[in-house]
């Protein structure tokens, strides 16, 4: 008993190395925030968004062990919520030239923060509504059902002309997302995840991941915890989608294809399943690498020779990295931390 | 809608359904043995279409031979895919293999964009197949009849192979109980290779015939049919070949008839499969023809 308490005490919330890298990260963010380079700022904001997304997927897949591929759908819900709530009424008229927007939405213009929270809440409500029936399914079936749900959302958004402007998408979304916003949200998410995983809910989630039947016989309400994890995950994905909409300024349903979910999956896999720190690092690296690898798609001028860029090469390299990691790190993949 | 129109839609639905059935068989066979959703299967289907395109455009081989060669070659690519992406992960947790499958699918799609180009290519339909016949006032393209015919022939051959040959018996044994079958001296790797070859071959035949019916090739053309055919396999009861065929026909007919009867729902065509999937999974989680499994501790 005494030994137990001792180990519990020596296990601080964060160790020194994490703390130092945390401080370095914050300093780097502050420096970037005050530079004039818009490109770097944009990528940094995107990194923050992907941190949220990676952690959101980590919560459902890495911690609770439910293979869900519905993230693109929840992001779409969040992105459209923020877009519809923040676009100025006169811009809405311009956007919806095919068919006017639903009357009760025509004159709304919310502040950014409440609309972001609203994005999370609506995505969370959808997560709850979808999760309640779908979470009765197990692994592969769950994966395909959530994937299906994300596709349904995309198809519905393509067809609801007076709500989402259909395939034309929405333009002129106010650019509120900056380094500050996206990283503030990212840090809140990190804090929330650490807090959640330390507590009894986190332990229950992990128990479900390790062995459902054992968890159930320990008195854990499987269904309740699964739905909870799914709803939280959807909430975070919705917030991230909202941030992204406001960062990009334009959205359309085709942005939220399965490919987007796969990107997040890649971040999660590289970070190590169930590893919060790893996810943050891999989100930053993957997002930065996506930008760095962009040279593969464009032509390169080496002075003496002009290399033609090949569109799509970036993603080829990217998927090869994903497969190589999975194949060569298969044993360590599931052991987070 | 007149009766003639209905017949036309029915014919189209059956031919689309048989294409779905061909692709769904590959999913269901692989899942039956490895318990793996082979996400790259839809992209194998795409490769089948493109190989035929290049075979007809750039060689002087007669078209029917190109069709066969392309299908066999695609089958071999499927086999190679298994060796690279799935074999090293034979004993790894299932989520790992699934991620590898997603990576493979992603790779093939982008490889397609790089090598074949992102612009759509027109599939060269042989003149013999591009005829419209008139059946009592209904004009239907001859390919609409050829597709179900070839599908039925292949299905009969496959059923014979699975039920009457030793390899087929080994396949059934593996999908019934992987461990025991292995202990009985079945060469697991060989059987899995054969399974992948057959699945990919059928998908490629599907791809070639898809090209003759909807003559446009795109590197991403396999993504949607791929997922839909997996859904077809799940609807019919995954692991069950008859179920895959049934699911394929339900999906194909359902899609075409939905668009025909409710033209204002045309935009929701792609969502139909997913809605049907979720309903069926909730009502009968093992699919229409699937066996009930009990949870063992």
Min Cα distance B268 → chain A (Å) is 6
B104 interaction partners in chain A (CB closer than 8 Å): 319, 323
Higher pLDDT, B8 or A188: A188
Residue B160: per-residue pLDDT? 93
Rounded to a whole number, what is the distance in Å from the CA of A272 to chain B's nearest CA?
A: 11
What pLDDT score does A1 carry?
A: 42
Residue B218 contacts A, CB cutoff 8 Å? no
A310 pLDDT more than 80: no
The CA–CA distances, whole Å, from B205 to A100, B129, B251 equal 47, 15, 19
Q: How many CB pairs under 8 A join A and B?
A: 123
- Per residue in A84-143, pLDDT (tens digit) is 999 888 888 888 887 778 878 877 888 999 999 999 999 999 999 988 888 887 777 888
Mean pLDDT, residues A247-264: 88
Lowest mean pLDDT among A151-160, A267-276, A322-331: A322-331
pLDDT over 80 at A323, yes or no: yes
Domain map (residue ranges) of chain A: 28-258
Interface test with B, best of A146, A271, A319, A335 (most B CBs within 10 A): A319
Name which of A148, A156, A253, A261 to mutate to probe chain B: the one with the most chain B Cβ atoms within 10 A of its Cβ. Answer: A148
pLDDT over threshold 60, residue A8: no
What band does B103 get if pLDDT is binned at 50, 70 and 90?
Answer: confident
CA distances from A1 to A6, A7, A8, A200, A218 (A): 9, 10, 11, 20, 22
DSSP helix/strand/coil, B133: strand
Query: Shortest CB distance from B103 goes to which of A61, A213, A319?
Result: A319
Contact B285 A147 (CB under 8 A): no
Predicted pLDDT at B125: 84
| Of residues A234 and A294, more confidently modeled | A234
- How confident is the prediction for chain A on average, in pLDDT? 84
Considering only CB atoms, A144 lies closest to which of B106, B231, B275, namely: B231
**Alpha-carbon gap, residue B25 to B246, rounded angstroms:** 10
| Res. A5: pLDDT tops 50 | no
* Closest-CA distance of chain B to residue A151, Å: 7
Residues B103-125, mean pLDDT to the nearest whole number: 87
Distance from CA of B94 to the nearest CA of A (A): 9
The phi, psi pair for A171, rounded to 5°, reads: -120, 175
Q: Looking at the predicted structure, is the pLDDT value of residue A74 above 90? A: yes
Region of residue A151 (left: phi > 0; alpha: psi -120 to 50; beta: else): alpha
Q: How buried is B162 (Cβ within 10 angstroms: 0-12 exposed, 13-18 middle, 19+ buried)?
A: middle
Contacts 24+ apart (CB under 8 A), A205-211: A205/A59, A205/A63, A205/A64, A205/A229, A206/A63, A206/A64, A206/A274, A208/A64, A208/A65, A209/A63, A209/A64, A209/A65, A209/A274, A210/A65
What is the residue extent of each domain of chain B? 23-219
Q: Which of A156, A326, A336 to mutate to test the interface with B (most CBs of B within 10 A)?
A: A326
* CB-based contact B227 A147, cutoff 8 Å: yes
Interface contact B283, partner A, CB < 8 A: no
List the single best residue of B34, B225, B281 to mutate versus A (max A Cβ within 10 A). B281
- Residue B82: pLDDT above 60? yes
Q: Mark yes or no for CB contact A322/B94 under 8 Å.
A: no
- Chain A residues whose C-beta is within 8 A of a chain B C-beta are 61, 67, 133-134, 136-137, 139-141, 143-145, 147-149, 151-152, 155-156, 158-159, 213, 258-259, 262, 265, 269, 273, 310-313, 315-316, 318-320, 322-323, 326-327, 330-331, 333-334
Which distant-in-sequence residues (6+ apart) come within 8 Å of A2 by Cβ?
Answer: none
């Amino acid at each position: 008993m005494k030994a137990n308490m001792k180990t519990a005490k020596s296990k601080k919330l964060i160790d020194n190395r994490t703390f130092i890298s945390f401080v370095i990260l914050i300093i780097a963010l502050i420096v970037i925030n005050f530079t004039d380079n818009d490109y770097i700022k944009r990528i940094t904001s995107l990194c923050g968004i992907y941190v949220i997304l990676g952690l959101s997927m980590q919560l459902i897949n890495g911690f609770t062990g439910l293979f869900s591929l519905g993230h693109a759908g929840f992001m779409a819900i969040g992105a459209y919520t923020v877009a519809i709530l923040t676009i100025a009424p006169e811009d809405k008229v311009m956007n919806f030239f095919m068919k006017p927007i639903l009357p009760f939405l025509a004159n709304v213009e919310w502040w950014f923060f409440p609309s972001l929270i609203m994005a999370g809440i609506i995505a969370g409500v959808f997560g709850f509504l979808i999760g309640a029936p779908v979470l009765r399914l197990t692994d592969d079936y769950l994966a395909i059902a959530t994937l299906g749900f994300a596709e349904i959302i995309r198809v519905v958004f393509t067809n609801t002309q007076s709500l989402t402007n259909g395939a034309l998408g929405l333009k002129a979304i106010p650019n509120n997302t900056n380094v500050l916003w996206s990283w503030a949200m990212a840090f809140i998410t990190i804090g929330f995840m650490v807090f959640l995983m330390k507590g009894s809910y986190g332990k229950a989630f992990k128990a479900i991941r390790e062995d459902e039947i054992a968890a159930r016989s320990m008195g854990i309400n499987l269904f309740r915890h699964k739905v909870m994890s799914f709803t939280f995950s959807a909430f975070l994905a919705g917030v991230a989608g909202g941030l992204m909409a406001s960062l990009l300024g334009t959205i359309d349903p085709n942005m939220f294809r399965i490919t987007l979910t796969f990107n997040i999956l890649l971040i999660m896999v590289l970070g190590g399943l169930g590893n919060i720190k790893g996810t943050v690092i891999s989100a930053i690296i993957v997002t930065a690498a996506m930008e760095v690898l962009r040279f593969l798609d464009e032509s390169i001028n080496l002075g003496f020779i002009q290399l033609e860029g090949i569109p799509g090469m970036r993603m080829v390299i990217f998927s090869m990295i994903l497969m190589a990691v999975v194949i060569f790190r298969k044993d360590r993949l599931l052991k987070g931390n | 809608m007149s009766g003639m129109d209905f017949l036309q839609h029915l014919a189209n639905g059956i031919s689309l359904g048989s294409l779905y059935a061909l692709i769904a068989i590959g999913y269901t066979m692989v899942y039956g043995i490895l318990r793996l959703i082979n996400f790259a299967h839809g992209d194998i289907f795409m490769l089948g279409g493109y190989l035929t395109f290049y075979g007809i455009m750039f060689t002087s081989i007669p078209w029917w031979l190109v069709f066969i060669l392309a299908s066999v070659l695609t089958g071999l690519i499927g086999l190679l895919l298994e060796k690279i992406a799935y074999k090293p992960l034979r004993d790894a947790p299932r989520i790992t293999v699934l991620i590898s499958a997603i990576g493979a699918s992603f790779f093939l799609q982008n490889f397609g964009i790089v090598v074949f180009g992102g612009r759509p290519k027109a599939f060269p339909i042989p003149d013999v197949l591009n005829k419209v016949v008139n059946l009592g006032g209904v004009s239907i393209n001859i390919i609409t009849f050829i597709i179900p015919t070839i599908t039925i022939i292949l299905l009969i051959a496959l059923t014979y192979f699975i039920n009457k040959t030793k390899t087929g018996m080994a396949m059934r044994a593996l999908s019934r109980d992987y461990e025991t079958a292995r202990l009985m001296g079945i060469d697991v790797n060989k059987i899995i290779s054969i399974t992948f070859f057959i699945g990919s071959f059928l998908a490629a035949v599907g791809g070639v015939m898809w090209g003759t019916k909807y003559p446009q090739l795109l590197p991403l053309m396999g993504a949607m049919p791929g997922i839909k055919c997996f859904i077809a396999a799940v609807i019919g009861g995954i692991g069950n070949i008859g179920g895959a065929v049934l699911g394929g026909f339900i999906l194909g007919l359902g899609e075409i008839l939905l668009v025909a009867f409710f033209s204002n729902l045309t935009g929701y065509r792609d969502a139909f499969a997913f809605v049907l999937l979720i309903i069926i999974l909730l009502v009968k989680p093992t699919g229409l023809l699937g066996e009930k499994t009990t949870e063992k501790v």
